[in-house]
Amino acid sequence: MKQMKFLRVALLAVVSMLAITVQAQTADEIVNKAIDAIGGKDKISTIKTVYSEYDMEIMGNTASGQSYLVNGTGFRNEVDFGGQKIIQVYTDKGGWSINPLQGQTTAEAMPEDQAKAGKGQLDVGGPLFNYAAKGSKVELVGKEDVNGVSAHKLKLTTKDSAAEITYLIDPTTFYVLKAYNKTSVNGQQVETVASFSNYKKTDFGYVMPGTTELVLPQGITLNITSKKVEINKEIDPKIFEMQQ
């Protein structure tokens, strides 16, 4: 009887381990297909810079913007509201911003945790790209409905647990439909929700969403429409230096 009991326990343990292995393989398979869907590892690895122009609608107002990314080095975003320019910059060393709408007319360094939370902007391939090499973990946590689509639900946790991102991925196209990004800012956990649609292939062959809806922690919604994308355009790294 003892031997039979031990055998049942052993078999249960084996089944449990197999289930974990299958889940991990399934998660990796989904990630790999998502990377392939936007261009593939080889193509993404050759992207050094991304320049984009877009229109943004917020609370009934419209604005235009540009963003500059040098992979692994710096990200700069500029939004023009009626002649007043809001600038946010993240680099591998920190971050700074200018926001005249909040009375901030000169460049100010960001708090350390805010700058740290924004460093994901420096990664042209996104957090899922080469996630294991970055020390992040991804697990498949089920499915969730997104506008009638039963999307794969993946949870990514960064190496230092500074961020937790839940991705909802279309099971047919393997495009990311939605992402919940939880980070800690000023000692409080905040969540930003992004919905992506209208994916388009750039001249370079890299695929990006043409439309993004971004819901900020304050409940403010930004609707962003891409107008222009240039891959590997020359970008002067001096634009990431804090303005004096």
In the chain (244 residues long), the average pLDDT of successive 10-residue segments reads: 42 39 67 97 96 93 95 95 91 93 89 83 93 94 95 92 90 97 77 95 96 90 96 96 84
DSSP letter assigned to residue 78:
E
* φ, ψ for residue 135, nearest 5 deg: 90, 5
Give the total residue count for the chain. 244
- What are the helix and strand counts (H, E) for the chain? 3, 13
Its pTM stands at 0.84
CATH assignment of the domain containing 221: 2.50.20.10
Q: Give the domain extent around 40.
A: 2-240
pLDDT of residue 227: 96
pLDDT of residue 35: 97
pLDDT of residue 19: 41
pLDDT of residue 20: 39
Which residues are 229's β-sheet partners?
52
Burial of residue 112 (CB within 10 Å: 0-12, 13-18, 19+) is: exposed
pLDDT of residue 163: 82
Tokens of residue 94, six digits = 């920190």
pLDDT of residue 186: 66
Query: How many structural domains compose the chain?
Result: 1
pLDDT of residue 57: 94
